[in-house]
Structure 1
Amino acid sequence: MDKLIRGIRAVVAERLDPRHTAFAVADLLRADMPGPDLLTPEERRGRPDATSPPCVTRRRTSRS
């Protein structure tokens, strides 16, 4: 975590425009991103029922 904080501080100290600062910080994060082996095989497969967004039902009210 200290390495990441030092890296972000160094990027901010460069006083880049916001867009370039964001890309530079993203590069820092990407460089130390853990691989898929962080998750178990079961976690990598996911839940079959979680592939679609939750369904929202609405009760119709009658207008008289």
Structure 2
Amino acid sequence: MADTKTLAEIEQRIAILRDNLRELVEQAAGFSGAANEELTADRINEQQAELDELLKKRDAMTKS
């Protein structure tokens, strides 16, 4: 059985990352200039990669 504290922490981090991604996408819509767009795209990619990893961990924990 999954450790509920760890699972709860993962769920909380997933929620935070989803909020971060939503905010970054909104910011990207308002930015102009290649440097700002590239920085925002990099941040979005980093946040998405972390979210993907946490989703995999959560899925593994809930399947066991």
Place the TM-score, normalised by the shorter chain, in its bin: 0.3 to 0.5
Could you tell me the TM-score, scaled by structure 2's length? 0.33
Q: For the pair shown, which has the larger CA radius of gyration, 1 or 2?
A: 1
Q: Which has the higher contact order (CA 8 A, sep 6+)?
A: 2
Could you tell me the TM-score, scaled by structure 1's length? 0.33
